[in-house]
Amino acid sequence: MKTLSWTLIVLSVLSLFVGIGQLSVVDLVHGDSKSWQLLITSRLPRLAAVLLAGAGLSIAGLIMQQISQNRFASPSTSGTIECAMLGYVLSLVIFGDGSQLWLIFATSMLGTLLFVQFINRIQFKNAVFVPLVGIIFGNVVSSIATFFAYKHDAVQNLSSWTVANFANLLQGDYELLYVAIPFALFSYLYATRISAVGLGKDFAVNLGLNYQQVLIIGVLLVSVMSASVVMIVGKLPFLGLIVPNLVSRFYGDNLRRNIPLTALLGALIVLGCDLLGRVIIFPYELPITNIISLVGGAVFVFFILQGEKNAR
């Protein structure tokens, strides 16, 4: 935990000085107004967005895995993100602009709830079926979104969502992401109930838990957190999936202890990938989606093969 925090702090400070605009410590100390302006309007917002998005999405993945009782569930393998996309299209079509937040949150929540209901109803013989169905469910929802978008000439508005990029975040663009902080705190306090739900419906009811209520609150947490990330930044595939798995691999399954760890590791991974994308073809930038899906995909495949070995 200590190592993680220190690495995160060092990388965060470093990331402030990576970019095409000149920024050096010396200038800052001398009080150069241009340098300070660059720092405050561009570099700091970007850093904050990276950290909040990484932490928020990872916690969302952790909660999703608990309430669906499946290691392979996450916002990107349960249709949550695609439903947020659908909500955005609906808001464009009905209200003429994409800023009806309540509609986006409501659709992503409804979709996630629907998916959780699906997987609770269907007795899958195989745990791997859940993410498969989730991914196809996401495809279905995104094709419905494309259908409406095509009808109203809004396909292009959608495409910016599919590629995550922190490059164009300035002061004033990213503040919605701060929603991750109260939500993370809340899920930390609520952790025991969520992990009781993770033991299964019968067990949770036996413990005297209002199962439906906790489930809906869990879905609400997941949807709002991942919808706000995808709206501001874009899709970060596999992140919500691999981070909780990595954490539970090394630190066990104590949910309350894992929430801060997950947040730290998620922020660290996103920051690392973002830095990589900024350096690799300097002075241009690679969108983080590409890097994270290569890295995350590899880690995910590794997990599946490992899980297979353990099952034998």
Partner 1 sequence: MHDNGKLMVLAITAVIFSALFLGIGLTADNYQYFLSRRIPKVLAMIIAGIAIGQSSLAFQTITHNRILTPSIMGFDSLYLFTKVLVVVAFGGLSSIAMNSYFNFAVSVVAMLGFSALLFGFYFRGERQNLMVLLLLGVILGQVFDSSSSFLIMLMDPNEFASVQASMFASFNNINVDLVYLSTPLLLLASWRLYRLNRLLDVFWLDKDNAVSLGVDVKKVTLQILMLSAVLISISTALIGPLLFFGLLVTNLTREIFKSYQHQVLLTAVSLVSVASLLSGQWVVENLFGFSTTLSVVINFIGGVYFLTMLLRNKIV
Binding site for partner 1 (CB under 8 A): 72, 118, 121-122, 126, 128-129, 131-133, 135-137, 139-141, 143-144, 146-147, 150-151, 163, 237, 286-287, 289-290, 293-294, 297-298, 300-301, 304-305, 308-309, 311-312
Radius of gyration for the chain, computed over Cα atoms and rounded to the nearest angstrom: 20
Give the residue with the Cβ less far from partner 1, 94 or 132: 132
Give the residue with the Cβ less far from partner 1, 183 or 238: 238
Structure tokens at 16: 């402030």
Smallest distance from partner 1 to CB 95, Å: 23
Give the residue with the Cβ less far from partner 1, 90 or 180: 90
Smallest distance from partner 1 to CB 281, Å: 8
Smallest distance from partner 1 to CB 68, Å: 15
Smallest distance from partner 1 to CB 279, Å: 15
d(CA 90, CA 87): 5
CA dihedral 213, 234, 170, 27 (to 10 degrees): 110
Give the residue with the Cβ less far from partner 1, 16 or 276: 276
Give the residue with the Cβ less far from partner 1, 57 or 214: 57
Peptide bond into 283 cis (omega under 30): yes
d(CA 12, CA 246): 21
DSSP string, 236-293: -TTHHHHHHHHHHHHH-S-HHHHHHHHHHHHHHHHHHHHHHHHHHTTTS---HHHHHH
Give the residue with the Cβ less far from partner 1, 16 or 144: 144
Q: Which of 58, 97, 92 is nearest to 229 (CA)?
A: 58
Smallest distance from partner 1 to CB 134, Å: 10
Smallest distance from partner 1 to CB 122, Å: 6
Structure tokens at 207: 């413990």
**What single DSSP character describes residue 41?**
I
Q: Which of 165, 158, 161, 159 is nearest to 46 (CA)?
A: 165
Smallest distance from partner 1 to CB 138, Å: 10
Give the residue with the Cβ less far from partner 1, 227 or 241: 241
d(CA 143, CA 139): 6
